Amino acid sequence: MKRDISWILTCAVLLFFSRTALSQTQGQAHEHTHLEDYVQYAPMAANIGMGWTGIEARHTGRERVLTTGTAFCVMTALAGGLKYTIHEERPDGTDNKSFPSGHAARAFMGAELVRMEYGTGLGIAAYGTAIGVGCLRVYNDRHWWHDVAAGAAIGILSTHIAYWLLPMEKRILGWDKEDDMLIVPTYQPETNSVGLALSYRF
């Protein structure tokens, strides 16, 4: 089967030119921004929400919520585990949790979800957003480039794990039957904990 690799080439080109441009700011004083703290969640939100606006998606709304939640939990476990194992110092010296970039992991996880749900066209737009997040983390002296690359790989891998687990999760949850019950994974950033949320319509 022939695979469409145009989105990979587009991301590589954008990342190359972004890295070249940002290299000009290294060693120079510049203002920092917190924009990526919010934009990192945009691809995830788009993956869940676009299908409800009439854009054709591969899966139903609750399946998109489930895959997003599962991917998020897998990504958090992988990225968090490495952060607390490797102890790499950030470029700005604030702590030793630089590797990998959690922001990049979340952004690229969402971008791959969008690509797999809605196709290459919208996927490229989502990947452009994710690349922007990664570039801002480097620009703001919060990460090295290899932190961003590792975060991106973890995010993409987590998405594929979530889709691989989806059929099993649907069997466990009984989603092959018509009912009004919804069980989805949850994550609480304040306590760094995961759980399940149950919703049932009587």
Residue 125 is assigned to a structural domain of this protein: yes
Residue 46 is assigned to a structural domain of this protein: yes
Residue given tokens 């890295």 in the structure block: 19
**pLDDT value, residue 72:** 96
Q: What span, in angstroms and rounded, lies between the C-alpha atoms of 30 and 24?
A: 11
Indicate which CATH number applies to the domain containing 141: 1.20.144.10
Q: What is the mean pLDDT of the chain?
A: 81
Has residue 202 got a pLDDT over 60?
no
Q: What span, in angstroms and rounded, lies between the C-alpha atoms of 101 and 105?
A: 6
Residue 89 is assigned to a structural domain of this protein: yes
**pLDDT value, residue 129:** 93
- Full-model pTM: 0.76
- 24 vs 200, higher pLDDT: 200
83: three-class secondary structure by DSSP: helix
Residue 143 is assigned to a structural domain of this protein: yes
Q: Which domain holds residue 100?
A: 33-165
- 200 vs 127, higher pLDDT: 127
State mean pLDDT over 115-124. 92
Number of domains making up the chain: 1
Residue 147 is assigned to a structural domain of this protein: yes
Residue 128 is assigned to a structural domain of this protein: yes
Residue 68 is assigned to a structural domain of this protein: yes
Has residue 6 got a pLDDT over 80?
no
Whether omega for the bond prior to residue 167 falls within 30 degrees of 0, making it cis, is no
Residue 20 is assigned to a structural domain of this protein: no
pLDDT tens-digit readout, 138-177: 888 888 888 898 899 899 999 999 999 999 999 888 886 6
Confidence of residue 179 (pLDDT cuts 50, 70, 90): low
**pLDDT value, residue 168:** 92
Element (H, E) at 19: helix 6-22
